[in-house]
Amino acid sequence: MIQFKLVLLGDSSVGKSSIVTRFVKDQFDINKESTIGAAFLSQTIKLLDSETNDEVAVKFEIWDTAGQERYKSLAPMYYRNSNAAIVVYDITDANSLSKAVKWVNELKEKLGDDNDCVISLIGNKLDLINEDETKRAISRREGEEFAIENGLYFHEVSAKENIGIKDIFQEIGESLYNQ
């Protein structure tokens, strides 16, 4: 089976572990504990081979990194050799997009120009905005523009309400498989 190595990066508490837990276990925990070091999970999905139209299985080997500053130096160990990176921010947290931008820039710098790592920029906690629009701290356009300029996939999602989570991985899987 084809395997892809995927890493999640982003500030602490933006919801990286919650996105992975939703994708791998279809669970959500409102009191999720902050990750220590990093966590490893895997999940297999099915997708279509664009040439043969056959259904194929691909396995994601996922490194869910810890966003707290003290773990920052560990990150290169996890993003090195990654086929894909999901860089997460929290649309209700004004500072979290600039942290995400820093991660994207670090990835681009360290992985070099000839890498084919697929990067997705993900604004999480969409459910909070759907409840109360005044909680939005980062406009959709702001995230989207940075993504377009840098050739990233972009989505706003909710790990809590399971909005758009599977689609992130499906899109990455299809892109990598048909690369």
- If the CB atoms of residues 16 and 99 are measured against Mg ion, the closer one turns out to be 16
Do the beta carbons of residue 143 and residue 3 sit within 8 Å? no
Helix (H) or strand (E) holding 128: helix 126-131
- Over the window 106 to 125, marking each residue x when it contacts ligand GTP by CB under 6 A and - when it does not, the resulting string is ------------------xx
Smallest gap from Cβ 18 to Mg ion, in A, equals 8
18 touches Mg ion by CB under 5 A? no
17 touches Mg ion by CB under 5 A? yes
Span near ligand GTP by CB under 6 A; candidates 25-33, 78-86, 134-142, 145-153: 25-33
DSSP for 65-104, written as a single string: E--SGGGGGGHHHHHTT-SEEEEEEETT-TTHHHHHHHHH
Distance of CA 147 to the CA centre of its chain: 13
Helix axes 16-25, 165-177, angle to 10 degrees: 80
Smallest gap from Cβ 155 to Mg ion, in A, equals 19
13 touches ligand GTP by CB under 6 A? yes
Smallest gap from Cβ 168 to ligand GTP, in A, equals 13
- If the CB atoms of residues 139 and 178 are measured against ligand GTP, the closer one turns out to be 139
Half-sphere exposure of 10 (CA within 13 A, CB side): 28
Choose the one of Mg ion, ligand GTP, none that binds residue 158, judging by a C-beta under 5 to 8 angstroms depending on kind. ligand GTP
How many angstroms separate the CA atoms of 91 and 94, rounded? 7
Smallest gap from Cβ 133 to ligand GTP, in A, equals 14
Q: Is 150 exposed, middle or buried (0-12, 13-18, 19+ CB in 10 A)?
A: middle
In the complex, the residues that contact Mg ion under the rule CB under 5 A are 16-17, 35
**For binding to ligand GTP (CB under 6 A), which residues are involved?**
10, 12-18, 29-30, 32, 34-35, 66-68, 124-125, 127-128, 158-160
